[in-house]
Amino acid sequence: MQASKTSYDVVIVGGAVVGSATAYFLATNPDFTGSVLVIEKDWTYQRSATALSSSSIRHQFSNAINVKVSQFGTEFIRNFRKNVEVDDDTPEIGFHENGYLFLAGDVRGANVLRRNHETQVSCGADVSLLDPEGLGRRFQWLNVEGLTLGSTGESGEGWFDSVGLLQGFRKKARTLGADYIEDEVVAVNREGDRIVSVTTKSGQTIACGTLVNTSGTNGKQVARMAGLDIPVEPRRRSLFVVDCRTPLEGKVGLTIDPSGVFFRPEGKFYLMGTYPKHDPEVDPSDFSVMHDEFEDEIWPTIAERVPAFEAIKVVNSWAGHYDYCTLDHNVILGPHTDVKNFLFANGFSGHGLQQSPAMGRGLSELIAYGGFRTLDLSPFGYERVVANQPFLEDAVI
């Protein structure tokens, strides 16, 4: 597909949720009048992390900035229709505000929840700590044996339609003038400390003022096209949808067992997964589901934690990839320190969907104003990679 011009102020590589959020915030910013091209290699998005994710948002992070980033995400999602409205056909996003429930199984785990709770509350998050007795009263489907503490989100957390969010950003950005083409960036052309253009698989060379790398798990390859490096690699995550003979009664949030096994309702079913014990870098084209993980880890653990899950049947499963930042489980956001017109948004490590509104807005501010105007996202910058100084996020699911 041909781009309508040979030169753009901003070229965005990867048009899933983060690329489209960036295009959206540029297109809706009255102070930015430049041209924007989004190059996306697959308009079905079937292998994007966006489409394969658990589609959830939480305020329960260990790092205060991540709490604030997700608080903006919630605000955006709650006002989704108004934010992305174009015509009567605005997609629905179906926000289920059921909260997360983090569980601790020893003193150390309880201390982590308490410490994170302080951070979250200092940011205004609506979260509560519950002792085992309180957990048992509130969540009657839960076996509290062996638990020391729980932390639950009272509002602002839940799940929604990830592709709806992506399509909302994309449609509004296109309506306001951003160009989208279906093509693959195969070369990033650099002259000294500037990116001058990209070349696509179909043979187009398109000049750019700024290049934005929102290519997800392919981010490292796109950086390498310019001779640059980022500590981001694809890590596989399998998700399983199960039918439960006796559905759980009362409020059920996204529940994380101390082992890392988690589940949440998915319509009349339940979606389940785990943080794999063995978690190597994988081939980016390997989307095979790790069925052993369900049999060996997820089911035995979850059937003990939630007795009703003894009688479950897998009705669907898929695998996707985290763009995993090996330095500190946080995104690398903003310009490369040497090549300043090359902006990254890579390494979300499993929380990029909920971060897309704040990160897209942040990138648009960097482009329009040369600095952040709302949330200061500079701790996520490439500088920490150069200095080898992690900006750690502990609460990774």
Site for ligand FAD, rule CB under 6 A: 13-14, 16-19, 39-42, 45, 48-50, 52-56, 184-185, 214-218, 222, 237, 239, 320-322, 348, 350-354
Query: Which long-range contacts does 197-205 make (Cβ < 8 Å, 24+ apart)?
Result: 198/11, 198/13, 198/39, 200/39, 201/41, 202/1, 202/2, 204/2, 204/3, 204/6, 205/6
* 346 and 12 Cβ atoms separated by less than 8 Å: no
Residue type, 82: K
Residue type, 72: F
* Beta carbon nearer to ligand FAD, 183 or 365: 183
Q: Which uninterrupted H or E stretch holds 274?
A: none
Q: Which is nearer to ligand FAD, 129 or 239 (CB)?
A: 239
Nearer to ligand FAD, 19 or 91 (CB): 19
Min separation Cβ 57 and ligand FAD, Å: 6
Q: Are 204 and 235 in contact (CB under 8 A)?
A: no
* Minimal distance, residue 39 CB to ligand FAD, in Å: 5
| Choice between 23 and 113, CB closer to ligand FAD | 23
- Tell the smallest beta-carbon distance from residue 128 to ligand FAD (Å): 21
Q: How far is the CB of 191 from ligand FAD (least distance, A)?
A: 20
C-beta closer to ligand FAD: residue 148 or 200: 200
CB of 146 to ligand FAD, least distance (A): 26
Cα–Cα distances in angstroms (integers) from residue 185 to residues 2, 3, 198, 201, 294, in the given order = 13, 13, 7, 6, 36
Closest residue to bound ligand FAD by CB: 352
**In the complex with ligand FAD, which residue's Cβ is closer, 144 or 322?**
322
Question: Measuring CA to CA, which residue among 218, 184, 194 is closest to residue 342?
Answer: 194
- Of 148 and 264, the one with the shorter C-beta distance to ligand FAD is 264
Distance of closest approach, residue 140 Cβ to ligand FAD, in angstroms: 25
Which one, 13 or 272, has the nearer CB to ligand FAD? 13
Structure tokens at 334: 């903003």
Find all residues with CB under 8 Å of 143, minimum gap 6, and list them. Answer: 304, 305, 306, 307
Least distance in Å: CB of 331 to ligand FAD? Answer: 8
Handedness of CA 212, 123, 76, 327 (dihedral sign): positive
Class of residue 336 by CB neighbours under 10 A (exposed 0-12, middle 13-18, buried 19+): buried
Q: Which two tokens stand for residue 341?
A: 């017109």
Residue 368 C-beta: closest distance to ligand FAD, Å: 20
